[in-house]
Structure 1
Amino acid sequence: MPETTMRHGTVSRAENATPGKTQAAGSDCGTGDPCAVPELSQAVHDFLKALAGPGRQQIMLLFAHGAELSVGQVAERAGIGQSTASQQLALLRRGGIVTSRRDGKEVLYRGDRERVTRTLADLHTYLNFCC
């Protein structure tokens, strides 16, 4: 079984466990049976990384109320260079905070409310278990 090292110990992925869950080695959660604990998905990790940058937080606000913007518009409104805006938007897209679509030669970005909602629900489940 592959192992994942966590901050407070080692957990092993259970062969019959629910996807997105791990079984804590030697833990029974007081029931006598192995305890399935939630595991943060790569999507949640990417989401948290995207949220961590103050510049990205500022960019996120540009998409309030359903705004759809090009890289150039984001750069102009955020007061940053176009390549910086493009890099920041790529991290926001990878984190599931914005989505993009092509309109001719232009790529337009907008907030991805559905994906943010799903990711926050996963994070909520994890935090409810541990905290």
Structure 2
Amino acid sequence: MKQADLDAVLSALAEPTRRQLLDLLADRGEASASTLAQAVPVTRQAIVKHLTVLDGAGLVTGRRVGREVLYRARPERLEEAAQRMSALAAAWETRLAAIKRIAEQA
């Protein structure tokens, strides 16, 4: 995952309503913006805007069925971001351990 992709995922996840929408999609499998608006205390238009951000980050995908778009979560994108964050955490642990060894030798 490129840095710009990770930035988009983290930015999308920073908003609580978007995280709630991802949770709902994970539970339901697929849902339209209208269906999601019934479960979240914001307008359908706001839901569509949030879904657009999530789609841009690769966290959801939509497919047109008649006049509606059904959205589903893309867990593989979250997994990619989690792996990237885990690698970053491991790198920092290594750096901090080296600093600790140096400090203890002084």
Please indicate the TM-score interval, normalised by the length of the shorter structure. 0.7 to 0.9
Instruction: Judge conservation of contact 1:66–1:111 (CA < 8 Å) in 2.
Output: no
What amino acid does structure 2 have at the position aligned with 1:49? S
- Give the distance between the partners of 2:27 and 2:45, measured in 1 at CA: 25
The one-letter amino acid paired with 1:42 is: A
Measured in 2, the distance between the counterparts of 1:92 and 1:66 equals 17
Match of 1:124 among 56, 68, 86: 86
Partner AA of 1:128 in structure 2? A
Partner of 2:59: 97
The aligned residue for residue 8 of structure 1 is none
* Structure 1 segments unaligned to the other structure (5+ residues): 1-19, 21-39
| Equivalent residue number for residue 69 of structure 2 | 107
Identity %: 29
Residue type at the aligned position of 1:44? L
Residue of structure 2 in register with 1:59 after alignment:
21
Is it true that 1:83 corresponds to 2:52 in the alignment? no
User: Can you list the C-alpha shifts for 1:40-81, whole angstroms capped at 9, x where unaligned?
Assistant: 611110111111111212222211235201111111211211
- Provide, for residues 13-41 of structure 1, a one-character-per-residue CA deviation record: whole Å limited to 9, x for no partner: xxxxxxx7xxxxxxxxxxxxxxxxxxx61
Aligned residue-pair number: 93
Higher helix share: 2
SS in 2 for 1:79: coil
Which residue does the alignment assign to 1:33? none
Residues 58-106 of structure 1, C-alpha deviations (whole Å, 9 max, x = no match): 2222112352011111112112111100111111122222121122221
Other-structure match for 1:34: none
The CA RMSD measured in Å over matched residues stands at 1.8
Q: Which runs of 4+ in 1 moved over 3 A?
A: none
Distance in 1 between residues matched to 2:66 and 2:84, nearest whole Å: 35
Q: Distance in 2 between matches of 1:124 and 1:66?
A: 28
Structure 2: gaps of 5 or more residues: 94-106
RCO greater where, 1 or 2, for CA within 8 Å and sep 6 or more? 2
1:118 aligned partner, one-letter code:
E
